[in-house]
Structure formats: structure tokens, C-alpha cells
Amino acid sequence: MNYKRILLKLSGESLMGDKQYGIDNERVRQYAEEIKAVHDEGLEIAIVIGGGNIFRGLSAEKSGMDRAQADYMGMLATVINSMALQDALEKVGLKTRLLTAIKMEQICEPFIRRRAVRHLEKGRVVIFGAGTGNPYFTTDSAAALRAIEIKADVVLKGTRVDGIYTADPEKDLTATKYNEISFKEVYSKSLNVMDMTAFTLCEENELPIIVFDMNKTGNLMKIAKGEAIGTLVKVKQN
């Protein structure tokens, strides 16, 4: 395998499948099988999931809700998604641990960095819920922060597009894909990869990011084996 330890970032919307909101159990099962296949090859896997399929703090703020209150509600939505994925992973035979930045002892463990690392070393899939535990931070920032804390080799951002493009490929048919790009180029070209806090954290800690299509069967395994899937963002280009 090309990596020893990865952090997989999934959006809440990715769990919707073809639905307009909520959780598509078939899509979650598909993800669980993809993750199991990679785990069976010996890869240590941590996961962060967004909550946008259930509740989005920024949208609620625009409609008049207090931003901090809305963000805390969004954190709870990520825990719901995390529990759904945890259930699917355990149904395919994986041992998991859900660790959250907000204490919820009846359903998960509190996030403790050393405990998270130990779970990974023991072969458990670790899911990080409730973002960073602080309002005004996205789950992208949580993914970058947790990846750095557990010393992951790479952040894999699973999306519904197959990489980073010069423009939105769903709106601009002339958009072209980058196979590899530097952090500085992403800044200079104002490309949308992650929010700036998350992106800066990755750059400062020289943590590469791969943006790829998680919905295409086999992509996660191909990346784990070192194939050039999606777009690689790194500090310097060759």
C-alpha cells in the first residue's frame, strides 16, 4: 500500500445518494464496503463526515439563527451521520470507534488524541464526530486538524466530482482537470478545495490532499495503492 494511515473526509451530502436530504442506506453500505476493502489490505483509516444532508449552520444563520447555535446543531448532525456509517462498517465486519469533540458518553467516546491513535494501531476504524467542537469551524477544518493530530499520511477528500478543475465542471463544460497542483497555485487561482483554515493547516504541516470521486467503485483502493486518481494537492510540484 502507498500509505500507512489516511484520513477520509466525506461530505454529509455524499450520504444522501439520490435523495434530496437525509441518509441513503445503500450509499452508506457502498462506502462501508469500499472502506473495508482498503482496511483489509492493512491501511489504518480515520474518517470525518460533514452534516450538510441534515443541517447546515451557515444556511441557518442566513435565515436569522444565531451562528454559534446553528453551528452546534450542525455538529450534532455530523454525529448522526457518523453513527450511520459506524453501523454500516460494523455490519461488514469492521471494528470501529466513534470519538466526538462534544461529550456524549452514552453513544461514543470523547476525543483524546492518544486514544484515537491507539485505536488505529489496533486496527479499528476511527470516526471523528462533532467537528472541532467549536462554532465557526467547518468539518473540513476538523478533518485537517485530526489528520495532523494522528499523523495521517494524506487527507482524502471524497466528493462527487473526480478532482479539481479550472472551473466548476457541472457548470462549465470547458473546465479542465488538474492531475496535480501545488497549494500556492490553488491560492493564486482561487480554486475551491477546502475552506481556507483547513487548507492552510494542511499546507503548513505539508499534509497532501487528494480530491477524488468517492462514488466510483474502486477509487479508494486505487488511491491506497498509489494510482493517480483525482487531483493531488501538495506543497511543491515536481
List binding-site positions for UMP.
Answer: 51, 71, 132-139
Residue 164 belongs to what H/E stretch? strand 164-165
**Rounded distance between C-alpha atoms, residue 210 and residue 169, angstroms:** 17
Got the DSSP string for 5-72? EEEEEE-TGGGGTTSSSS--HHHHHHHHHHHHHHHTTT-EEEEEE--TTT--HHHHHHTT--HHHHHH
Which parts are annotated binding residues?
9-12, 51-52, 56, 71, 132-139, 159, 165, 168
Q: At what angle do helices 139-149 and 113-121 cross, to 10 degrees?
A: 70
C-alpha cell at 135: 462554532
Which parts are annotated binding residues for ATP?
9-12, 52, 56, 159, 165, 168
Q: Contact, 141 vs 130, CB < 8 A?
A: no
Q: Contact, 162 vs 216, CB < 8 A?
A: yes
> In 3-state terms, what secondary structure has residue 137?
coil
Strands 5-10 and 154-159: parallel
Strands 44-49 and 96-100: unpaired
Bridge partners of 232, per DSSP, are 180, 210
**Rounded distance between C-alpha atoms, residue 219 and residue 216, angstroms:** 6
